[in-house]
Amino acid sequence: MRAVGVLFSRQPERYVPTLSRGRKGNLHDAVVKLDNGHVDLSPVFKNAEKDVYLLNFLPLPRGRSAASLSSIEFHWDPKHPVPVATGSLGGGLYQVNLLEPETEEHELTGIEAWVFLRGPGAPEEAAAAFQEAVALTQQWEKELQQTAVRTFLRTYLEHLATQETP
């Protein structure tokens, strides 16, 4: 957890989430396994209603030379989750944005999550470690603002995304 403090102290504004309560609720920051070009987004959509969502994936930190995914239709059914094809995306940290499907430009809705696509070189323990961090924040006082919790979790996601298996 000391590494989280180091990362946060360098650029605290980078980890502060934009808050928006859209028509479809919130997405959750998560660690998911990248498996042959597919990811299971269940942890990201765990409280979302069944629907068809339009998403994009942008690499983090911004400017990182990595593939992005401009838009993809994602059919979410919480009772029958199906992995989504991510094309040429490699492992790493991404901002997943919910796009407005009914506009011509597919504008951002303001609903987004940070997702660490755990590729072959990333430690398998990353998902469990992130869940421990989530559990830790749930023990914090209820008065603590959600932005502080999400900022801490996003900083920890970036730390996990920079670790490699020896």
Domain membership flag for residue 166: no
Domain membership flag for residue 48: yes
Give buried/exposed letters for 74-104 (b at 16+ CB in 10 A, else e): bebeeeeeebbebeebebbbbbbbbbbeeee
Domain that holds residue 114: 2-161
Tell me the per-residue pLDDT of 24-41, one tens digit each, with 9 for 90 and over.
Answer: 568 999 999 999 999 999
Tell me the per-residue pLDDT of 83-96, one tens digit each, with 9 for 90 and over.
Answer: 999 988 889 999 99
Q: What does the pLDDT average to over 67-89?
A: 89
Domain count, the chain: 1
Q: What does the pLDDT average to over 142-161?
A: 85
pLDDT confidence bin for 19, thresholds 50/70/90: very low
